[in-house]
Amino acid sequence: MDNLFDIKGKVALITGGSRGIGEMIAEGFVKQGVKTYISSRKQEQCDNTALRLSKFGQCISIPADLTQINEIQNLFSTINKNEKKLHILVNNAGAAWGADFDNFPENGWDKVMDTNVKSIFFLTQKFVKLLEKSGTNSDPSRVINVGSIDGIGIPRAETYSYPASKAAVHQLTRVLANRLAERNININAIAPGPFQSQMMNETLKKYEKEIINSVPRKRIGVPEDMAGAAIFLSSKASAYITGIVLPVDGGSLIARRHMV
């Protein structure tokens, strides 16, 4: 029982790990003794975050645009050269696009779907052999997909491709969990509610009080909330859990249902 939440010594890759939700998870992993690779599209930001987190442990930057299959291959090749196993893959890289219904553009739809859904499938496909090498029947390797409560409930904002993509992430999580369980890989999703992140910045500037009042816990999520959920889903404590979508939202979803 003393080691139930211990993830020290594992190797993880976190996409979109340079900021927001990904950075929260990365910091939690690094401080728990996980060798953590982070990837994001912007090299300078990725390098700076890795440099900051390296003060607490091992954090390595590998920038990549994960909407491009060749860059997924390059990311895999780099990690495969340096690691014999991958214990944890966190598919967090995400995008959103806001526009009113009558003017919502095709490129806004495609960018969000490619980043939020397509990249998850092909990253998992590419890294499955490394994940298999680390997984056992008693302690499987882990894939954590970052969805959203907007993929469960109905969002306020006009971001049509975003909630559709996150609902797809949740269903893809279940499908892959069923397919890969026999290969000793657990696949679960986290569905964040309101957290302080670049994606939420403008919304929080305009509606922070209203959002806080709508959350039963009466606050915005903090990094420890997200790190704690990811550590749980990566540890022996969750070895018998696969195919779930875990809301980390302060009760936002139950409040929405109550209002309906």
CA neighbor of 200 nearest in space, from 124, 96, 106: 96
pLDDT at site 2: 81
Average pLDDT, the chain: 94
Average pLDDT over residues 19-45: 97
Cα-Cα-Cα-Cα torsion 134, 140, 144, 149, nearest 10 degrees, comes to 180
Are 27 and 54 in contact by the 8 Å Cβ rule? The answer is no
Q: What is the mean pLDDT of residues 66-76?
A: 96
Confirm whether 228 is domain-assigned.
yes
| 172 belongs to a structural domain | yes
79 residue type, one letter = I
**Does residue 6 belong to any structural domain of this protein?**
no
From start to end of the chain, where are the E strands? 11-15, 35-39, 59-61, 88-91, 141-146, 185-192, 245-248
Q: Which of 22, 6, 141, 33 is nearest to 87 (CA)?
A: 141
Identify the CATH number of the domain in which residue 56 sits: 3.40.50.720
Taking only the tens place, the pLDDT of each residue in 186-224 is: 999 999 998 887 767 767 777 788 889 889 999 999 999
Which residues are catalytic, by number?
A: 162
Q: 3-state SS string over 220-252?
A: CECHHHHHHHHHHHHCHHHCCCCCCEEEECCCH
The two structure tokens encoding residue 111: 């960018």
How far apart (Å, rounded) are the C-alpha atoms in residues 185 and 136?
Answer: 8
Q: Indicate whether 159 belongs to any domain.
A: yes
pLDDT given for residue 100 in this prediction: 94
What's the distance, CA 85 to chain centroid?
20
Number of domains in the chain: 1
In a domain, residue 41? The reply is yes
User: How far, in Å, CA of 215 to CA of 212, rounded?
Assistant: 5
Smallest CA-to-CA distance from 116 within 159, 80, 156 is with 159
| Higher pLDDT among residues 173 and 199, named by residue | 173
pLDDT band at 259; cut points 50, 70, 90? very low
Domain that holds residue 180: 11-259
Sheet-wide strand order for 88-91: 59-61, 35-39, 11-15, 88-91, 141-146, 185-192, 245-248
- Cβ–Cβ < 8 Å for 101, 46: no
Query: Is 73 within the bounds of a domain?
Result: yes
Cβ pair 148, 156 in contact under 8 A: no
pTM: 0.94
> Binning pLDDT at 50, 70 and 90, where does residue 128 land?
very high
Residue 2 included in any domain: no
Q: Tell me, yes or no, whether 181 lies in a domain.
A: yes
Residue 118 and residue 165 in contact, taking contact as beta carbons nearer than 8 Å: no
